[in-house]
Structure 1
C-alpha cells in the first residue's frame, strides 16, 4: 500500500551525516576520481554505504540498540564531532555594536551539547563567521554551500532591536522592504528577492518545550524584511538545492534582543540550547513524511479524503530509505494521483506522534507538470479543491488542519 495510509514498522533511529573522505575513515574508493556509485570498501564493518562520491560521502550510521535505561551510544568514534556553522552580523544602521557578532565569535570551538532533562549528548565543533549587513553577506552562506562546503547544522543569529526575548524564526519570505539602508547603501521597498517563493525550516519549533531552555523565547513566522530575512531565505533554499540527504541539515535563524534585555552570556547559552535541540536524536523512531501543496489557478488547494477513516489530508506519503524529500514527493503523487509534479520547496514541518513513532510531515510546494489528479480508491476515497480560508469545519488527518491554517494565515502559497 502506498502513501500515508501505508502501515509503518518502527525502526531504530538512523543518523545521517556527510563526512569528508580521509584516511581517518579507512575507506578505499574503488572508482576513479569523480566517479559515483556504491562500490567502495572500508576497514570498518560498522559502516554501510549509500552513495559514494570522491569529494563527499553520505553514510548512514545506526547506533547500537540499547536498553531503555541506558544512554544511547552515539558513534562519535567514527563520525567525530558534528560540524556546526554559527553566523552573526556586523553593526548596522545607528548601532555601534551588534551582540550577534559577539555571540557567534564566542561560540567558536568545541562544545558538548545536551538538552535539559535528557541523558543524550553529543560533541560539536562550531565554526563562526561574521556576515556583512548587505547583499554580499546575505548570500555568503548560500554561496559556500553551492561551492561544496557542508555542515551538520547552521544557526544564523541576528539582532532584533524591538525584541525583549529571543525569537526563533520558522519562515523566510521572498520579499524585502527596508526601513533603513543596509551597509552598502541599498534600500529596497516591496521587492521580491527572486521567484522561488517563501520557504520554511524543516524543524517543528512548536513542539519545543520551554522548560528545556535556559531562557524564555518566542516562536516567530516573520523574520522581518531586512538582511536577516534575506540571509535565512538564501540559506534555506541553498540547503534544499545542494544537500543529498533525505532532509537537508537543519537550519534556523535566531533573533536576539539588545543586551539590556538579554546578556551576551545568556544569548550564547540559548544559542547552544537551540543547536542541541536541532541535532540531538529523537527518543522516538523518526518517520519522514512528505505532503504536497498543489494549487489551481483560483488559489484552491488539493485535498484527499482517506479511504480508511475518511479524514482529509494533503496527499503524500513516507520517504523511502535513502530517498530525498523531492524525489519522495514526486513519486508519491505519481503513485497516488497519477500526476507528474515538480517538488519546488519545503514550506514547513509538523510533527505528529503515532504508535510510538514520530511522524515528521514536511509540507512541499508542488506544481503539476503533466496529468489531472485522480484518486486511487485503495488510498483515497475522493479529492477536493478547497479554499484555504474555508478549512475550519473539516475533519482533518493528524496535524493537516494546522498545516492548512498556516497556509491560510501566512499566505505561503506560490505567487
Structure 2
C-alpha cells in the first residue's frame, strides 16, 4: 500500500516544524507492506496546496495523511472536518494574508476526513500517546491543504483514506515562543506514525 504523507516547512515564530522532522526521519517502508512517499509543503497560499496536488498526481497514493503544526495544542489532533474557509491569523511565508475567503468558490462548505479516525484514536491512546478527535483544523494553511486534498479526491473520483492530523509543538521550539506553550516530544510524535499507518491496512 502506497501512502503519501505530507508536512510543512517552518513558519511564524518556529525555526523548525515537527511535521517536517517527522517526514524526514520516517523510513520508506513499514510493516504490512506500507510504502511511504513524502512531500514537504511550503507555507504559502498558492504553493502549498499546489505542491500537495502535484504529489498526489506524481505518486498516485492509495492513502494520504497530511500533518501540520498546531501551536498551543497539547495532544495529537485527528481532524474530522475541512471547511471551505481561509482566514489567516498571520501572514504566510510569502507575506500573504487572507480574510473570509473560500478555499474553492465552487466547492461545498466542508468535507469529512476519510481516515479511520476512531481506530487511530484508539491505537494512539492504547499506547499512551495523547490524542483527540478535533472538529476544526483552523482557517490557516493546514485547513486549506486539508480542504484541497478532500476536494481534489472528490472531484477526481478517488475514494481513498485521506485526511489531516495536527501535531503539538515540540520542546525544541519552546524557547522561541512568547509565552509558555504545551509541547510533545519528537520521540512520542515519531512513535505515533507506525500506529497510525497500521490502521490503514
1:189 aligns with 2:99: yes
Partner of 2:164: 253
C-alpha deviation, 1:100, in angstroms: 0.9
Query: Pick from 37, 44, 49: which aligns with 1:138?
Result: 49
Q: What's the CA shift string for 1:59-115, capped at 9, x where partnerless?
A: xxxxxxxxxxxxxxxxxxxxxxx1111111111112111111000111141111xxx
CA pair 93-149 structure 1, distance change in 2 beyond 3 A = same
Higher-Rg structure is 1
TM normalised by structure 2 equals 0.84
Partner of 1:227: 141
1:200 aligns with 2:112: yes
Query: Pick from 150, 153, 177: which aligns with 2:60?
Result: 150
Q: Distance in 2 between matches of 1:184 and 1:214?
A: 38
Q: Distance in 1 between matches of 2:52 and 2:126?
A: 29
Q: Distance in 1 between matches of 2:137 and 2:185?
A: 21
Q: Distance in 1 between matches of 2:125 and 2:15?
A: 34
Query: Pick from 233, 240, 263: which aligns with 2:154?
Result: 240
Aligned with 1:237: secondary structure?
A: helix
Partner of 1:105: 24
Partner of 2:37: 127
Q: Distance in 1 between matches of 2:59 and 2:28?
A: 18
Query: Pick from 269, 272, 275: which aligns with 2:194?
Result: 272
Q: Distance in 1 between matches of 2:86 and 2:144?
A: 7
Aligned residues: 185
Aligned pairs (5 A) from 1:302-313: none
C-alpha deviation, 1:211, in angstroms: 4.2
CA RMSD of aligned residues (A): 1.8
Structure 2: gaps (5+ residues): 172-182
CA contact (8 A) 2:103 2:148 kept: no
Q: What's the CA shift string for 1:264-303, capped at 9, x where partnerless?
A: 12111212212211x12xxxxxxxxxxxxxxxxxxxxxxx
CA pair 144-203 structure 1, distance change in 2 beyond 3 A = closer
More helix by share: 2
Q: Distance in 1 between matches of 2:38 and 2:55?
A: 13
Q: Distance in 2 between matches of 1:221 and 1:130?
A: 24
Q: Distance in 1 between matches of 2:118 and 2:101?
A: 30
C-alpha deviation, 1:204, in angstroms: 5.0
Aligned with 2:33: secondary structure?
A: strand
TM normalised by structure 1 equals 0.42
C-alpha deviation, 1:143, in angstroms: 3.7
